[in-house]
Every structure is written in C-alpha cells, then in structure tokens.
C-alpha cells in the first residue's frame, strides 16, 4: 500500500505541475500579455514582448504617441486552440476590431524552464502590422499623424517629380494625417485617414502633394498685367519685347498721335507643368488697337488731310511661373522676332 500511495502522490504531483505549467506558464500567457498591450494602445510594450527594437524613422507610427491616439484599434480578443509540439507552440486568437473578427495564429518557442518544471516561452510573432505607403514632397521632413509629430525617413524616389515615397509599418487602427500648414504660395490638400485592419489590408495610402494657392495666380497675373500695361503705353507700332505688334504706314513726318488701346482685357489660365514647382500662365483672348492719324494729302502745297488709321490685334500672353513656399518668379515669354 505504501508503494501504491507513493505512485499516486507522484501522479498527483505530475498532474499539478502540468496544470500549473498550462495555467500559469503556458504559451498562451505571452500572447495574452501582447494582446492586452495592443488593446491598451501600448505599442511600445507590445513590441518589447516580441523583442523588437525601434528603428529611427522607420517605426515612427509604432510609437505610443501615434498608436495610443488611434481610433478603431483592436478592442478585444479571444484565445482559441493551443498546440504544443516539443519546444514550439502555436496559439490561435480571434481579434475584435470595429465589430469584426480577424483570426491570427501566433508562434512561440520554448527557451527554458522556470523552477525546473515550468516552461518559459518566447513570442515570435507575427506582429499584425501593415505598411502604409506615403507619397510626400521631397523637402517634407515631418508630418503630423494622430496629433503627434512624426519624423519621416529619406524613403525613395517617386515616379512623380518633386515627390518621394516612404513606407511606414502600422498596427491595426486609424491614422489621421492633416495637411502640412499652407504657406503663401503652396497648400497641401485636405485631411486624410488610413485605416489598418487586423487582417492586414490597408484601406489606402497617403498622398501629400503641393498645390498652388490663389495667391500664385493673383501675383503672377499682376506681374504679367503690369508688363502688358507698359507695352500698351508704348507709342511704337511694334514695341520691343512686347506681344502687341502692328504696322504704321507713311512717312514719319506724315504720322501723328500713335497709340495703343487695350480694348479687351486678358483672362488667364494657370496650369501646373510636369516639372515640380513650375506652372504655365497664359491668355490668348486679349485685344488691343493700334491707332494713329496719317496725312492722306499727297500734294505738299495743300494743307494736310488727317485720316484715322486703326488696326485691332489679338494678343497672346504667356509666362513660366516658378513657385516655392514663400516666393514666385515670373518669366514672360519672349516676343517673336519683329514684335
């Protein structure tokens, strides 16, 4: 009986060890700790449990200031099947996000024992991150995401001139990107939001593209109009470097009161060119009349007979406008030879 009792005691002890190992030291415990950190918005703690270290610039969205402020994060989870095979284990978890459920299978490795009998488990992953693609201006070094300032990595060249492409991993949740503050001449669109679901398919990327503010049009038009005014003020039929050109017949001594009159104001169109920061300003509907009086009397012995001559011409205007945040440069097209 004593020997049988000893066997029973050993069996009871073994069962107790197994129960403690499963309930206190099982592979599900690191998974629970990891998912609890995600639910709490503690991205940095979750990464520590995976043994991840932050990479400057590359992991900017995985900071607590960004992830902790994200809406639509994982709000709960339920663990399912647990499978142990020697020194490896898998734990299935159903993650709840916005009322939907996504299933993730975590893998773990036994790294040793605590108190001889109880296993120590290392959570290997996977980390439910999804890359968010951002196309941004080449000179933009930081943006705001979920209210936090985020320094951007160098990234790579974008197929779009003047822009570069960066890719940042993000945990499940919503990432709100307001546009950078506008300057006098450049603005950056409206607020954008990207939702990263737990199943790993991001809803969209981010495009931060500069666009000309109304001040670009207004100031460029003012410069071109001032140049046109100087040309219209000329008394020459074809003033140098000007778009207005006509002819004046007769001996200069038989011509008087030459003048240009703008009879139809130009309307302008501003178009962005393919080159970054370059725009085309143009108009082809302005009209101006060149008029003068010519002596129609051929007999010098007779008093002059002054007749009015008029020539109305359509005027085309064009300029290249180079735009930076706080300055524009307007270069008018050169007039054709003879104009």
pLDDT tens digits, 122-176: 999 899 999 999 999 999 999 999 999 999 999 999 888 889 999 999 999 999 9
In a domain, 338, yes or no: no
For 189, the token pair is 């669109």
Average pLDDT along the chain: 89
* pLDDT score, position 4: 55
Residues 197 and 224 reside in one and the same domain: no
C-alpha count within 13 angstroms, C-beta hemisphere, residue 69: 13
Residue ending a domain, among 189, 210, 231, is 210
* pLDDT score, position 85: 94
Residues 174, 67: Cα–Cα separation, whole Å: 9
Residues 181 and 155 reside in one and the same domain: yes
Domain count, the chain: 3
**Does the pTM of the predicted model rise above 0.75?**
yes
E strand or H helix at 287: strand 278-295
Contact 147, 212 (CB under 8 A): no
Please list, residue by residue across 306-328, b when 16 or more beta carbons sit within 10 angstroms of its beta carbon and e when fewer do.
Answer: eeebeeebebebbbbbebeeeeb
Q: Which residue, among 131, 126, 93, 94, has the nearest Cα to 108 in the 3D structure?
A: 126
Q: What is the DSSP string of 42-82?
A: -HHHHHHHTT----TTTTGGGSHHHHTT-SS---EEEEEEE
pLDDT band, very low/low/confident/very high, at 114 (cuts 50, 70, 90): low
Query: Which conformational region is residue 269 in: left (phi greater than 0), alpha (psi within -120 to 50 degrees), or beta?
Result: beta
Residues 227 and 255 reside in one and the same domain: yes
Residue ending a domain, among 210, 239, 258, is 210
Residues 291, 248: Cα–Cα separation, whole Å: 9
* pLDDT score, position 9: 39
- Residue 172's domain spans which residues? 130-210
Residues 137, 144: Cα–Cα separation, whole Å: 14
Residue 227 has pLDDT above 70, yes or no: yes
Rounded mean pLDDT of 9-13?
40
């Amino acid at each position: 009986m004593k020997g049988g009792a000893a066997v029973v005691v050993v069996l009871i002890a073994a069962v107790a060890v197994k129960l403690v190992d499963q309930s206190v030291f099982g592979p599900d415990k690191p998974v629970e700790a990891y998912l609890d950190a995600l639910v709490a918005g503690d991205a940095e703690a979750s990464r520590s449990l995976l043994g991840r270290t932050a990479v400057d610039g590359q992991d900017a969205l995985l900071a607590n200031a960004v992830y902790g402020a994200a809406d639509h994060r994982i709000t709960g989870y339920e663990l399912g099947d647990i499978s142990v095979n020697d020194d490896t284990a898998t734990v299935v978890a159903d993650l709840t996000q916005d009322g939907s459920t996504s299933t993730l299978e975590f893998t773990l490795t036994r790294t040793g024992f605590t108190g001889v009998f109880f296993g120590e488990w290392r959570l290997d992953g996977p980390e439910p991150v999804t890359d968010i693609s951002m196309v941004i201006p080449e000179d933009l070094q930081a943006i705001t995401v979920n209210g936090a300032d985020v320094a951007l990595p160098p990234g790579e060249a974008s197929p779009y001139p003047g822009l570069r492409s960066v890719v940042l991993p993000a945990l499940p949740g919503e990432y709100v990107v307001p546009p950078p503050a506008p300057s006098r001449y450049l603005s950056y669109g409206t607020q954008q939001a990207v939702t990263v679901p737990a199943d790993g398919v991001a809803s969209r990327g981010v495009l931060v593209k500069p666009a000309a503010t109304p001040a670009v049009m207004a100031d460029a038009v003012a410069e071109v109009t001032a140049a046109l005014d100087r040309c219209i003020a000329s008394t020459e039929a074809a003033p140098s470097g000007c778009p207005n050109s006509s002819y004046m017949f007769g001996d200069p001594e038989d011509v008087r009161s030459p003048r240009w009159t703008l009879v139809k104001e130009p309307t302008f169109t501003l178009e962005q060119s393919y080159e970054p920061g370059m725009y085309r300003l143009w108009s082809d509907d302005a009209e101006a009349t060149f008029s003068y009086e010519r002596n129609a009397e051929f007999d010098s012995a007779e008093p002059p007979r002054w007749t009015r001559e008029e020539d109305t011409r359509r005027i085309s205007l064009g300029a290249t406008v180079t735009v930076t945040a706080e300055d524009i440069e307007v270069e008018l097209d050169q007039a054709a030879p003879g104009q």
